Chain A
């Protein structure tokens, strides 16, 4: 203390009780480092999610708010041809396509090398424009009613990765198929029969239909466990399926109405209503000119009761929820630190009664004593906050060092197909506001802890404190 000032006196007091000061600041330091570490992690992960979202120029519109096993929420809104036309009219939209579920149950029957395979299949229809880049020039992803060649199909790249890692790696006879190679199925012919209205799981009641099909390529838009076909083919199959189903329903209805006439027939001109043949799509895909249109398009789509990439939003919400839980824990640690500070200050106050009596004797007012105690708490909080921020930052660097290589490897395996090559530099996003808020919080906590001790110090009877000598 060279100059005669309260801050200098406060500094000298702290220098005198370094041990208490350091012990009291441990809780604040731990709390703030925890708070900043997880806040920065949450912000970093969210920024990462947003970055992927911002990179995507193909948006998936769906009716589902989220879709988890046992936990599916569906919206009352549906995606129809009218919805697709509305999307096409939005500014910044380059093209719009849709994905349609194939209605009849089906099985796939085929051979991969010497391995005979019969499996339950899920199939969807995709607008050819959506997957034009995935089709090798030797093939066409289209279908006409009079077509004699096998129906072209696309498989998911993720499915191929699963196949490579789980099957091809275990059976040396099975080939590995590079999911990133557009021409993977040019030389490796994968033909199979599609058995419509046949299933291991459900009884269709309709006549089986066998259709030749061929895998022509891979696509990130292909259904995960199954095959995606040209939209016109799926619409045709669905239309036939609905007509047949409606015919059977109508016939059953007529027979019920005419129990005495076992030969009752459907009228020759029977057709299902137009409404029955109107499709609602599983997903729509909107190709946007650039990501700057994303907010406006998102708002418009959401106003229709639909969602854009709900998994991304759900991931953001999950990150938020986990971040808040961690912040809650950090706040608890800081609150406990405040209690600890309070107890330490009461203890220190007891030890320094004589000093406070002396200060009162030489002219300190009650307010001066409050300022001294609160000033010491302020420095303690500042020290804890800055140290906590530093520890959080160092912890982040260590976590990045350990996690980033593995994360980038993971992203390049599974996420690259959706968003192109992605590299993450850090899991954490620190900004001045976050660090400042953490330090401010530490200071506020220390001041809160010291408030009552400061009041007690101010109320001390100086004559009594000096008489205790």
Chain B
């Protein structure tokens, strides 16, 4: 059974008097632990697809189920809990809270988890896991791009998510740093059985995916991974 399943997923944006269809009856099945890359041109709907799967965007038609649960049936509270416990987000622009330290950023999801105790130890552990044990009390503006992205990854890992939704995660990083991040992703995918959905327009990132999905004119097409 598919872990993530999309059926007839359609998303339109209102552009003045016109409705612009970004996703057009998209069907997709992702198995648990899969590493899938989603590619396409700018504005093709890649980020929108990720936002819908992560429960951030609810203005769609069609069905989406994650681990057998229909996201449409969830109210805001349950959907927020789903984002908190099941999904982790990693963005191209890192999206860290600039006024918090590295450790505080990583701990932030715990504030909405309802879980008490042990979270700080867990945050330190994931920071160590991404190699930032000596940067815990620094604020994001003092970190390099790679360190910022690793902070974002640590934040995404805090609640032990089953899915990591990555939107151009290496877009703002230099080549070497991007490689380190991608290695970390592969490691997490292999050893912690986390399902990866990575939006990218870089072939070398898409190459890592066991599946490559291309969005073109609202339709999703399966492609062979680049060689």
Contact = CB atoms under 8 A, between A and B. Distances in A.
Interface of A: 1-6, 8-9, 12-13, 15-16, 354-355, 357-368, 462-463, 466-467, 469
A5 B111 contact: yes
Given A1-B100, A466-B95, A362 B89 contact: yes
Interface of B is mostly: helix
A361 B56 contact: yes
Interface of A is mostly: helix
B95 A4 contact: no
21 contacts: A1-B104, A1-B107, A2-B120, A4-B119, A4-B120, A9-B108, A12-B99, A360-B80, A361-B56, A361-B89, A361-B95, A362-B109, A362-B155, A363-B81, A363-B112, A365-B76, A365-B77, A368-B111, A466-B56, A467-B47, A469-B91
A295 to B, nearest CB: 56
Contacts of A362: 83-84, 89, 108-109, 112, 155
Interface string B89-120: 10101011101100010011111110100011
B104 A12 contact: yes
B51 interface: yes
Nearest to B92: A469
A360 B77 CA distance: 11
Interface string B37-80: 00000000001100100101100000000000000000011011
Given A358-B97, A361-B83, A4 B91 contact: no
A363 B109 contact: yes
B23 interface: no
A462 B56 contact: yes
B85 interface: yes
A365 B81 CA distance: 8
Contacts, number: 91
Given A12-B104, A15-B99, A362-B84, A367 B56 contact: no
A15 B84 CA distance: 25
Contacts of A366: 76, 80
Nearest to B165: A361
B127 interface: no
B159 interface: yes
Contacts of A15: 99
Contacts of A5: 110-111
B111 A463 contact: no
A4 B83 contact: no
Given A361-B89, A463-B57, 17 more contacts: A4-B107, A4-B109, A4-B110, A8-B111, A9-B111, A16-B99, A361-B83, A362-B83, A363-B80, A363-B83, A363-B84, A364-B80, A364-B112, A365-B81, A366-B80, A367-B76, A467-B47
Contacts of B48: 463
Nearest to A8: B111
A1 B108 CA distance: 9
Contacts of A13: 99
A4 B121 CA distance: 11
Nearest to B52: A463
A2 B123 CA distance: 11
Contact of A4 (B57, B77, B81, B108): B108
Contacts of A12: 99-100, 104
A463 B56 contact: yes
B79, B93, B100, B113 — most chain A CB neighbours (10 Å): B100
A354 to B, nearest CB: 7
A369 to B, nearest CB: 10
Contact of A469 (B81, B95, B119, B123): B95
A3 B79 CA distance: 24
Contacts of B76: 365-367
A318 to B, nearest CB: 53
Contacts of B80: 360, 363-366, 368
A12 B99 CA distance: 8
Nearest to A12: B100
Contacts of B93: 469
Contacts of A462: 56
A362 to B, nearest CB: 4
In the A-B complex, the 8 residue pairs with the smallest Cβ-Cβ separation, listed nearest first, are: A363-B84, A4-B110, A16-B99, A365-B80, A363-B112, A362-B109, A4-B119, A4-B107
A360 B91 CA distance: 14
Contacts of A8: 111
Given A1-B104, A363-B113, A466 B81 contact: no
A72 to B, nearest CB: 68
Contacts of A4: 107-111, 113, 115, 119-120, 123
Contacts of B89: 361-362
A467 B57 CA distance: 12
Contacts of B54: 361
Nearest to A5: B111
Given A2-B120, A355-B97, A358-B97, A363 B85 contact: yes
B157 to A, nearest CB: 12
Contacts of A364: 80, 111-112
